[in-house]
Amino acid sequence: MVFSSLTYLLLFMPIVVGFTFVSKRVSWKNTVLLIASILFYGWGEPLWVYALIGLTFLVWLCAAGVHNAQSTFWKKVCLALAIVLPMGVLVYVKYAGFLLSPLLGLFGITIPQVRMPLGISFFTFQIITYAVDVYRDDQLYQKSPLKLLLYVSCFPQLVAGPIVCYKDISEEIDNRTTTLDDFVAGMKRFICGLGKKVLLANVCGQVVEAVIANQSMYGMSVAGSWYMAILYSLQIYFDFSGYSDMAIGLGRIFGFHYAENFNYPYMSTGISEFWRRWHISLGTFFREYVYIPLGGNRKGTLRQIFNLLVVWSLTGLWHGANLNFVLWGLYYFVLIVLERFVFHRILKVLPGFVKGILTYGLVLIGWVIFYFTDSAQMSCYLAALFGIGGSVPFHTQELWMVVRQYSFLPVIAMVAAFPLKNLFSSTMQKCWKPLGTLWLLMVFVLSLVMIVGQSYNPFIYFRF
């Protein structure tokens, strides 16, 4: 079940929200939300839902060991178990074939293929944050395994984030309110995210496929390769930020306040800034639970570069067990090292718009690496971006036909990727505010119409 499906929008969500608001006590609300979350995940993963429950209970036991241990040694042992158990499952399911198959294949050994369950990377990280937070602060220990299961399985952010650190919402599990104002604000945010996904991301995705098909048929061109990269950058942004908006809105409806996950990343004027604006919860996780524990930038330049290498290697692998994701992570490692230690003085004197264009161009190259899991296709598209590889034309007539056919909504998507409200004064924003509700209703209705007419199109980040 996905948020942009009629089953969810017209059946599941109204029932769960209705029962939540009818429930007077927080304990009742928690029960409703826990049952709904298990049903939500079990709908798509009828077997892995038991693994989710089992892993949560095992980590709860390990965290209880951390809480009750009388020595630092045993606290560390329990913490290590709490990390190794879920990570072991993640590594086997997601990475065993990628990491071990080439070696074991020499001996004729094959690793059984296991279908990767939805959201395993997200809920694994959330389980780990709970164990680490309890180790760091004993007051965060959760006595009830069911409340911990609610935190891990809470359906708004279960399968595609944002990654919610336990310490950020531990208080709201037992003490939160569900008011009409929260419902209205949450629904507005949810509808905005739905519109991003259905009206912008899905359309951009269709154009990406059309451009790639066109180039496969009529040959690569420089303009076509950059056009595809731009469209994919819009597709993945609106797809993932749309899901995050829906998750944040749903959390608000149920009384949880999730942190922002995107902050207009394509207006960045540097690669480091881009990653402070893109998938903020993932960056926060790696900073708080990997980079800083490794020493961060406190142990000299060489150690800082090593720590960055570890973080960006893991970031690439987190997105998938394929060579292109590893290269994508290392690509950003190189860019950040160059930005911080080589070109930082030059970058300081460049105008902001120049740095913005350079940053976006580098991000587009990164998205080409990210998109193509086939190394040959990736190489062809990267070469075509710069006109390398023989007689690569700047454009083809067939490409312009595709551009003219699909140009309207991608242009809107590009404009919508920037904070347009900042162009208007506060007075003008107040004048337009009464029209906001009508506009959102139109977005919701249009989204429903598009969902009826579209084929199934899951969120991109479901596969991570």
- Over residues 436-455, the mean pLDDT reads 82
By C-alpha distance, which of 254, 257, 256 is closest to 33? Answer: 254
Angle between helices 13-22 and 26-44 (to 10 degrees): 160
DSSP, collapsed to helix, strand or coil, labels residue 439 as helix
Q: How many CA atoms lie within 13 A of 313 on its CB side?
A: 7
pLDDT value for 30: 92
The domains of the chain are located at 6-176, 182-463
pLDDT category of residue 426 using cuts at 50, 70 and 90: low
pLDDT, greater one: 456 or 19: 19
Residue 246 has pLDDT above 60, yes or no: yes
Q: What are phi and psi of 69, to 5 degrees?
A: -60, 140
Residue 351 has pLDDT above 80, yes or no: yes
Q: Which residues contact 219 (CB under 8 A, 6 or more apart)?
A: 393, 396
pLDDT category of residue 230 using cuts at 50, 70 and 90: very high
Which 3-state string (H, E, C) describes 349-392? HCCHHHHHHHHHHHHHHHHHHHHCCCHHHHHHHHHHHCCCCCCC
pLDDT value for 322: 85
Q: What burial class does residue 172 get, using C-beta atoms within 10 Å of its C-beta: 0-12 exposed, 13-18 middle, 19+ buried?
A: middle
pLDDT, greater one: 56 or 436: 56
pLDDT digits (tens, 9 = 90+) for 137-166: 888 899 999 999 999 999 888 877 788 889
pLDDT digits (tens, 9 = 90+) for 176-205: 888 888 999 999 999 999 999 998 998 888
Residue 51 has pLDDT above 70, yes or no: yes
Question: Torsion angle of alpha carbons 113, 114, 116, 120, nearest 10°?
Answer: -130
pLDDT value for 455: 61
Cβ pair 177, 255 in contact under 8 A: yes
pLDDT above 90: percentage of residues in the chain: 45
- Over residues 34-61, the mean pLDDT reads 91
C-beta neighbour count of 7 within 10 angstroms: 11
- Cα 13 to its chain centre, rounded Å, is 22
pLDDT value for 96: 73
| Cα 171 to Cα 174: distance, rounded to the nearest angstrom | 6
pLDDT digits (tens, 9 = 90+) for 294-341: 998 888 889 999 999 999 999 998 888 788 999 999 999 999 999 999
Residue keyed to tokens 């029962």: 19
By C-alpha distance, which of 318, 311, 236, 314 is closest to 278? Answer: 236
pLDDT digits (tens, 9 = 90+) for 352-401: 899 999 999 999 999 999 999 888 889 888 988 888 866 566 767 777 77
| Cα 395 to Cα 223: distance, rounded to the nearest angstrom | 5
Residue keyed to tokens 């709904």: 36
- As a whole number of Å, the end-to-end CA separation of the chain is 16
pLDDT category of residue 98 using cuts at 50, 70 and 90: low
Peptide bond into 162 cis (omega under 30): yes
pLDDT, greater one: 246 or 401: 246
Residue 106 has pLDDT above 90, yes or no: no
Residue 40 has pLDDT above 60, yes or no: yes
Choose the most confident range, by mean pLDDT, from 218-227, 281-290, 385-394: 281-290
pLDDT value for 6: 84
- Catalytic residue, from 257, 319, 344, 395: name it: 319
- Over residues 21-25, the mean pLDDT reads 88
67 counts as catalytic: no
Q: What is the CA radius of gyration of the chain?
A: 23
pLDDT value for 373: 87
| Cα 405 to Cα 303: distance, rounded to the nearest angstrom | 52
Cβ pair 212, 228 in contact under 8 A: yes
H/E element, 195: helix 180-195
pLDDT above 70: percentage of residues in the chain: 89
Q: What burial class does residue 296 get, using C-beta atoms within 10 Å of its C-beta: 0-12 exposed, 13-18 middle, 19+ buried?
A: middle
pLDDT, greater one: 458 or 134: 134
Residue 129 has pLDDT above 70, yes or no: yes
| Cα 110 to Cα 174: distance, rounded to the nearest angstrom | 47
Structure tokens at 412: 């809107």
Average of per-residue pLDDT values in the chain? 86
DSSP, collapsed to helix, strand or coil, labels residue 297 as coil
| Cα 365 to Cα 324: distance, rounded to the nearest angstrom | 12
Residue 438 has pLDDT above 60, yes or no: yes
H/E element, 446: helix 426-453
Residue 16 has pLDDT above 70, yes or no: yes
Residue 427 has pLDDT above 60, yes or no: no
Structure tokens at 240: 């993932």
Residue 428 has pLDDT above 80, yes or no: no
pLDDT value for 59: 93
